[in-house]
């Protein structure tokens, strides 16, 4: 590993911890009250609101944090693997697998299917509760993984100081 990376590791680890923590907070908000609130309103309104959220989330700020943290974690995963530094490696893998991969494999396909559903469509009465339950369950996984990643990076910071 180039010696030029060494002085940057504390800063990169801090930024990764903050990014993971911020994403854990976003996911937590959805698990703790956003999805519960959407489930309490009439199904057509809930569908329309979630469809709107799914469009609004694709914005530079969210993508910077979500994907920027993923890129940083990928870099730190390689560095930590080569150094066999367990905490940043664990944090990187938790974020990459538990948040990014879960998002791409489970949450995004559910969002894409929901996008095709008309808010007044009769089958929405069946599909909406299933969507909320399944989407939220996978979101719990993302919340826990991002929080555990933030904790791992925090432990790595303690080791670096």
**pLDDT tens readout for residues 125-160:** 899 999 999 999 999 999 999 999 999 999 999 988
pLDDT above 70 as % of the chain: 97
Residue 69 has pLDDT above 70, yes or no: yes
Which pLDDT score is estimated for 144? Answer: 98
Q: What's the structural domain count of the chain?
A: 1
The answer to the question of residue 129 being in a domain is yes
Q: Give the CA distances from residue 42 to residues 46, 110, 126, 136, in Å, rounded to whole numbers and listed in that order.
A: 6, 19, 12, 18
pLDDT band at 53 (very low <50, low <70, confident <90, very high): very high
CB 89 within 8 Å of CB 77: yes
The answer to the question of residue 1 being in a domain is no
Which pLDDT score is estimated for 160? Answer: 85
Q: What residue numbers bound the domain in which 38 lies?
A: 6-160
The answer to the question of residue 68 being in a domain is yes
């Amino acid at each position: 590993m180039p010696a030029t990376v060494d002085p940057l590791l504390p800063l990169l680890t801090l930024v990764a911890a903050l990014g993971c923590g911020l994403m854990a907070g976003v996911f937590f908000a959805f698990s703790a009250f956003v999805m519960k609130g959407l489930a309490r309103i009439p199904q057509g309104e809930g569908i329309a609101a979630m469809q709107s959220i799914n469009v609004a989330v694709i914005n530079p700020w969210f993508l910077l944090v979500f994907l920027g943290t993923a890129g940083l974690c990928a870099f730190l995963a390689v560095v930590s693997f080569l150094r066999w530094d367990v905490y940043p490696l664990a944090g990187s893998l938790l974020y990459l697998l538990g948040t990014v991969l879960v998002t791409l494999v489970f949450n995004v396909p559910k969002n894409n299917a929901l996008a095709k559903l008309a808010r007044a469509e009769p089958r929405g009465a069946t599909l909406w509760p299933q969507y909320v339950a399944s989407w939220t369950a996978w979101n719990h996984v993302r919340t826990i993984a991002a929080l555990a990643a933030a904790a791992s990076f925090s432990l790595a910071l303690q080791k670096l100081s």
